[in-house]
A and B are shown apart, each in its own frame.
Chain A
């Protein structure tokens, strides 16, 4: 527990001083706020929450994948992780500390999205639940990519296209039925479905997100056993 707490505090202090990661948690809600105030509220044809839900889904899919991946890849490349492990930190403690921090940071950003949006209490609860589940999935995916990467450059090269596909597929799916059909297996599409229409089948969407988490966790465990966290 002591090690997890130490890693968690380290991530918090480090993120404040790391603009490339910090920006991910600010830019998406900021864009949602600006577009909602400037476009959605002054245009009757556009739903009030359209930009909030769109940016929230992109944040959950893209922002968290790239940021968690970048941090893990940096710790591996700079050998900081090696010193933590020599000091007695178990790899799973490192991952829980890092992942836990990103989950809380992602949850705070989700609350900001919920405050920008015009949701009822029930809708807010559904919105936050699906966002937190989606954030957890993205963090596992980010950690998996970070672990597979030799350095930060490789991590960015690998995470960016994956994050763009994961993050933007729901938006593309809203314009194309065939894409929508295939995208329904993606957790980001399910986030988009719920946050865009709160009357949609909530349980089914959560189940798809759950399957995504299980599949990614299995991939993560297999990769971890094969490769480990080579700090």
Chain B
């Protein structure tokens, strides 16, 4: 179980997270929603020990080897091919290199295994970054805007994969500013605005609470009602 209690983070005089509290149950997909600059990536950076919090406490319920991470920057080795990129991490984790091929197959990149990274499209790079994150079958997966900038077909492919990972027992923590994605994928969501959680719960429950169900639940309407800000 991932827990964050009263987390505070400041950069200089600017408070970027204030009193952030939420809980993510095992084997669920949890979405952290908010516009750019809300503090979503800062929360992931704290949960993955890349940043220290200035106050509060948190627990991911597992060690770093049991977490997978996909960030807004992919950090792939441009001159190496897809398989070589994954094999580096397979060697680091001490798992057989055949797992790299399996991971590529899972994200639909088996035909591009020998393709150099700098020749991949953005969607393929995203999928390769996801393959690297799931290579060692982590218990908890942190995905920072996994479908940002992708075409709908590729995004749907990634949604299916995230759902499959959750069905196989992984806990998925994702950030997004795409409300449709959150409604479609997430069991629970938290709405983040200027470093504060303004609402959290099941997407349909939140929409019902704020009378934002017309034909389908409309989380974006809830967000605008609560913050007065439109998602970019």
Contacts and interface: CB of A to CB of B under 8 A. Distances in A.
Contacts of B91: 2-3, 5-6, 9
A82 interface: yes
A87 B92 contact: yes
Interface residue tally on B, bucketed by range: 20 to 34
B100 to A, nearest CB: 12
B129 to A, nearest CB: 9
Interface string A1-43: 0110111011001100110000000000000000000000000
Interface string B91-118: 1111000000000000000000000100
Interface string B66-101: 010101011111111000100011011110000000
B75 A82 contact: yes
Main secondary structure of the interface of A (DSSP, over half): helix
A84 B92 contact: yes
A122 to B, nearest CB: 41
Nearest to A6: B91
A230 to B, nearest CB: 10
A88 B69 contact: no
B218 to A, nearest CB: 35
Contacts of A5: 91
B93 to A, nearest CB: 7
A79 B71 contact: yes
B128 to A, nearest CB: 12
Given A2-B91, A88-B92, A10 B77 contact: yes
Contact of A10 (B75, B80, B116): B80
Interface centre among A5, A6, A7, A81 (most CB of B within 10 A): A6
A80 interface: yes
B88 A79 contact: no
Interface centre among A2, A10, A81 (most CB of B within 10 A): A10
Interface string B40-65: 00000000101000000000000011
Given A3-B92, A83-B132, A87-B93, A13 B80 contact: yes
Nearest to A74: B78
Given A83-B69, A83-B132, A88-B65, A17 B92 contact: no
A88 B62 CA distance: 14
A89 B92 contact: yes
A86 interface: yes
A78 B78 contact: yes
Nearest to A89: B92
B75 A83 contact: yes
B79 A10 contact: no
Contacts of B84: 10, 13
A133 B69 CA distance: 39
B88 A10 contact: yes
Interface string B199-216: 000000000000000000
A86 B77 CA distance: 16
A79 B74 CA distance: 8
19 contacts: A9-B88, A10-B84, A10-B88, A14-B80, A17-B80, A78-B73, A78-B75, A78-B78, A79-B74, A79-B75, A80-B75, A82-B50, A83-B89, A84-B92, A86-B50, A86-B64, A87-B64, A88-B65, A89-B92
Interface of B: 48, 50, 64-65, 67, 69, 71, 73-80, 84, 88-89, 91-94, 116, 132
Interface of A: 2-3, 5-7, 9-10, 13-14, 17-18, 78-84, 86-89, 231
Given A5-B91, A231-B75, 19 more contacts: A2-B94, A6-B88, A10-B84, A14-B79, A18-B79, A78-B75, A78-B76, A79-B71, A79-B73, A79-B75, A80-B76, A81-B75, A83-B89, A84-B92, A86-B48, A86-B67, A87-B89, A88-B92, A89-B92
